[in-house]
């Protein structure tokens, strides 16, 4: 009798244990299914939130773009578009402020900067902008590399713009007193008198910006620097636009990097800030001045880089913006995928 009672107790205990175990596994199974659903929901949600187009890369969220802007090339207008879009398109924009606007970073800062921007997950995807020379990440041992973009301008236009900018400032920060404030000398007079501010050597800026952090890059007139600048422009930049065709630059970026630049073209067309920064009281140089500057080696080399960049940009643009054959946009896809 006692034994039967014990047996009954034992078996009912067993049943209870089995029931508990069954429900526990059932709960785990349901929890897992729920988590999967939740994950899918987040994914589909973030897909629409991040404006990824069909063709956009899956790991676009790791994207780091560096715009090493050259002074007086219309960079403020362009960066303004990025600042206007960053909230809507969910990315970060950061200005790289280097002591005294130096264009070359010390070796230790190059390394620190490279490690920092590639590893800083909380800031990704991001657009970094600053007045610094091209930095080759291959030298710096980072596991991932950022995408470089830039704008280039006709060298004499850039120099004249810079010359008046130092004297009169611009409409962006009109109350800031510039370095040469009060100096009334025109660019023509400056060239006539052979003053240092309009020395053609001052035009040696776009070549070294594209050339990079090597000493030779900063020697005005170095043929090696010009070659290196061209090499970097086609091999290390995703796209380099020209100031004179800012809208097309923005459209090309929107087509190739929609993760950041979705809606940029329309925004640029419709916002009345698009020509935001204009140097005040700029006087166009006379033909005489132009002829004189164009005889200098530095102008010729800087212009060589500009023309090279322009031709390359037009080529890139044609493939993207103009639908060459029968107005059909270019696509690509995969087929004959094996093994099945
Ligand atoms: C960079 O930082 C310095 C020091 O804080 C500041 O004075 C300067 O205005 C900054 N540069 C720019 C372009 O904002
Ligand atoms: C990058 O630098 C910033 C500013 O110094 C710092 O706050 C951040 O933690 C750094 N990120 C990484 C991943 O090192
Ligand atoms: C253009 O700017 C003016 C003043 O700065 C502002 O009142 C107006 O709403 C702006 N228009 C558009 C379309 O943003």
CATH, residue 135: 3.40.50.300
In whole angstroms, what is the distance from residue 78 CA to residue 309 CA? 18
In whole angstroms, what is the distance from residue 301 CA to residue 34 CA? 64
- Is residue 36 very low, low, confident or very high in pLDDT (cuts 50, 70, 90)? low
Note whether residue 156 is domain-resident: yes
Note whether residue 338 is domain-resident: no
- Looking at all shown ligands, the one closest to residue 273's CA atom is 3
Note whether residue 277 is domain-resident: yes
The better pLDDT of the pair 269, 51 is held by 269
At residue 56, the pLDDT reads 45
The question of whether 131 is a catalytic residue gets the answer yes
Residue 174 has pLDDT above 90, yes or no: no
- The alpha carbon of 269 and the centre of ligand 3 are apart by a number of angstroms equal to 13
Note whether residue 44 is domain-resident: no
Helices within 120-201 (DSSP H only): 155-168, 187-193
Note whether residue 29 is domain-resident: no
At residue 46, the pLDDT reads 41
Across the chain, what does the average pLDDT equal?
A: 86
Cα dihedral 242, 247, 252, 256 in deg (nearest 10): 120
pLDDT, tens digit, for every residue of 186-223? 999 999 999 988 999 989 999 999 999 999 999 999 99
Note whether residue 20 is domain-resident: no
Number of domains the chain is built from: 1
- The alpha carbon of 285 and the centre of ligand 2 are apart by a number of angstroms equal to 46
Residue 266 has pLDDT above 70, yes or no: yes
Which atom of ligand 3 lies at the shortest distance from residue 272's CA?
1
Which atom of ligand 2 lies at the shortest distance from residue 119's CA?
13
- Is residue 309 very low, low, confident or very high in pLDDT (cuts 50, 70, 90)? very high
Domain with 264, as residue range(s), is 53-320
pLDDT, tens digit, for every residue of 75-126? 888 999 999 999 999 999 999 999 988 999 999 999 999 999 999 999 999 9
Residue 59 has pLDDT above 60, yes or no: no
CB of 92 within 8 A of CB of 86?
Answer: yes
Query: What tokens appear for 29 in the block?
Result: 């199974």
């Amino acid at each position: 009798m006692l034994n039967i009672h014990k047996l009954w107790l034992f078996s009912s205990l067993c049943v209870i244990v089995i029931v508990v175990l069954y429900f526990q596994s059932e709960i785990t199974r349901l929890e897992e299914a729920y988590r999967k659903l939740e994950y899918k929901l987040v994914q589909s949600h973030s897909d629409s939130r991040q404006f990824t187009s069909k063709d956009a890369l899956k790991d676009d969220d790791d994207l780091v773009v560096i715009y090493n802007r050259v002074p007086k090339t219309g960079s403020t207008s362009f960066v303004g578009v990025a600042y206007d879009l960053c909230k809507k398109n969910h990315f970060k924009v950061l200005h790289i402020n280097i002591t005294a606007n130096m264009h070359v970073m010390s070796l230790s800062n190059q390394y620190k900067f490279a490690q920092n921007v590639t590893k800083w997950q909380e800031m990704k995807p991001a657009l970094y902008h600053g007045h610094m020379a091209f930095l080759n990440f291959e030298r710096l041992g980072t596991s991932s590399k950022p995408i470089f973009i830039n704008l280039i301008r006709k060298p004499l236009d850039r120099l004249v713009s810079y010359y008046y900018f130092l004297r009169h400032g611009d409409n962006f920060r009109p109350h800031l007193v510039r370095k040469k404030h009060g100096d009334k000398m025109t660019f023509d007079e400056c060239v006539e008198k052979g003053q240092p501010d309009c020395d053609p050597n001052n035009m040696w800026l776009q070549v070294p910006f594209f050339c990079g952090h090597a000493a030779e890059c900063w020697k005005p007139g170095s043929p090696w620097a010009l070659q290196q600048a061209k090499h970097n422009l086609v091999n290390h930049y995703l796209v380099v636009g020209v100031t004179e065709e800012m809208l097309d630059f923005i459209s090309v970026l929107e087509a190739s990097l929609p993760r950041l630049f979705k809606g940029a073209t329309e925004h640029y067309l419709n916002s009345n800030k698009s020509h935001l920064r204009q140097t005040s009281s700029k006087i166009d140089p006379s033909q005489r001045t132009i002829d004189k500057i164009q005889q200098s080696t530095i102008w010729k080399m800087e212009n060589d880089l500009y023309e090279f960049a322009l031709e390359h940009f037009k080529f890139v643009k044609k493939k993207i913006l103009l639908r060459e054959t029968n107005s059909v946009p270019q696509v690509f896809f995969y087929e004959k995928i094996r093994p099945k």
